[in-house]
Amino acid sequence: MKNRKFLLLAVLLGLGMILAACGGGGNDSSGSGGDDTGSSKGSSDFSAALVTDVGGVDDKSFNQSAWEGLQAWGEEHGFTKGKGFDYAQSNSKSDYLPNLTRLVKKDYNLVFGIGYKLHDAIKKVANQYSDKHFAIVDDVVDAPNVASITFKEQEGSFLVGVAAAKKTKSNKVGFVGGVDGSLINKFESGFIAGVKSVNPDIEVEVQYAESFAAADKGKLIATQMYNSGIDVIYHASGATGNGVFAQAKDIKKNNPEKEIWVIGVDRDQYEEGQIGEHNVTLTSMVKRVDVAVKDLANQAMNGEFPGGENVVYGLEDGGVSAARTNEEALTDDIVKAIEKWKEKIVSGEVKVPATREETKKFVDNL
C-alpha cells in the first residue's frame, strides 16, 4: 500500500492514450476466448480478469472504465484478450458466483468483482479458493485474500456540484441515482453540498431509478426534471444515465438555443453529450476505476498484493476529479470556483459529507 501513490501517478500518465472503445459483445455471458493462463509475449505468467455488474462491459460508465483499466494493464505487459486478461459479463445477480468461479478455474491469479453488488459472491469464492487473489470495487470484503477498492466519490461530486451551481440559470438542478444505498448516497451528498456551498437557495431534486441498467427509466426521470425547469442533471446511475443523455440531446436537437446540461459519472462522458455541433455534457465526475484496476493488478503481479486492506482513492491523489473537456461550457469563473473548492477539500478546510445526515448538518451550517 505504501507504493500506491507512486503507482497511481505512473498509471495516470500511462492511461492518457487509451481508447475508450471496449472489446467484446454486450450480451455474452463471458468475454473468454482462448488460453487464459498468460502470454508468451508477456513479462510474466501472471493473469487477471474481472466480472462485471449487470450494466455490462460497454455501459459507457463504471464497468467500461474497469475494463479499460484491465485492458491497459494487459497490453502494457504484452498480453492479449483471452491470453493474460479477460472479463465475464453478468446479465443478472445469479451470474456473479458462476462467473467468478469460472475465471478461478481458468487459473486467473487475480479476479476483480466490479461493484458492491458482488460482495457476497466475492466473499464466498474467496473463502473457497484461499490461494487465489480477489479484489472488489466499491465495497469492503474482510478476507486476507481480498483487496477492497473504494473511492471518496463525495469529493468529486462536490466539485461537479459547484459547476452545476455556477451554470444553472433556473436555480434548479437535479440528481438521478441508480440504486438508493450508501454508495450512491455519497454521490448525492457531495453534489448537494457543492451546490449549496455556492448558493444555498438553489433547489436540488433527487430521484432514484432503482437500477443501474434502465436507460428508459433514466430518460423518463430526465424528461420530468427538465420539464419542471431543471437545467442541469447529475447522474450517478451507470447505464441508466444513458437515458438522461438521450433526453437532453433530444431537447437540444429540437431547440438548439435551449441551455440544457448533463453531468456524467465515472468516465469523462463528454462524447455521450455530443449532438451535432453542440455538446450537453457540462462536466463529469471522473472516478478512476481504470487507474485503480491497473494499479492493483500491477501490485499483485509484483508480489505486493494488498490482501485484507481497503485501498482508498480520493481527490488528493487523483482518484476522483471533475472533467474539463467541454471548455466552451466551463467558463473561467466555473473553473476557478472548482479549483478554489478543490484546494479547500484537499487541505482539510472542508470535509465533504458522505451521508444524508452529514449533508443536512453541512447545509445547516452554511
| 256: in domain | yes
259 and 336 within one domain? yes
Selection from 29, 15, 123, 5 nearest residue 71 by Cα = 15
Q: Are residues 221 and 256 both part of a single domain?
A: yes
Give the cell for residue 101: 468461479
Query: For residue 295, is it within any domain?
Result: yes
Give CA–CA dist 351/333, Å, rounded: 23
Task: Judge whether 59 lies within some domain.
Answer: yes
Which three-class secondary structure state does DSSP give residue 38? coil
Domain range spanning residue 196? 153-287+331-364
Is residue 325 in a domain?
no
- The total of structural domains in the chain comes to 2
CATH code: domain of residue 205? 3.40.50.2300
Name the residue type at position 57.
V
Q: How far apart are CA 310 and CA 294, in angstroms?
A: 16
Please report, in tens digits, the pLDDT of each residue of the chain (366 residues total): 444 444 444 444 444 433 333 333 333 344 443 333 333 344 468 999 999 998 888 888 889 999 999 999 999 999 999 999 999 999 999 999 999 999 999 999 999 999 999 999 999 999 999 999 999 999 999 999 999 999 999 999 999 999 999 999 999 999 999 999 999 999 999 999 999 999 999 999 999 999 999 999 999 999 999 999 999 999 999 999 999 999 999 999 999 999 999 999 999 999 999 999 999 999 999 999 999 999 999 999 999 999 999 999 999 989 999 999 999 999 999 999 999 999 999 999 999 999 999 999 999 999
Whole-prediction pTM: 0.83
Residue 47: helix, strand or coil by DSSP? coil
Cα–Cα–Cα angle for 147, 67, 211, nearest 5°?
85
CA 339 – CA 336 distance, rounded (Å): 5
Quote the cell numbers at residue 89: 459479463
The answer on 281 and 190 residing in a single domain is: yes
C-alpha cell at 360: 443536512
So what's the pLDDT on residue 62? 87
- Residue 23 near residue 80, CB atoms below 8 Å: no
Q: What is the DSSP string of 278-292?
A: EE-EEEEEEE-HHHH
Q: Classify residue 299 as exposed, middle or buried by CB count within 10 Å of its CB (0-12, 13-18, 19+).
A: buried
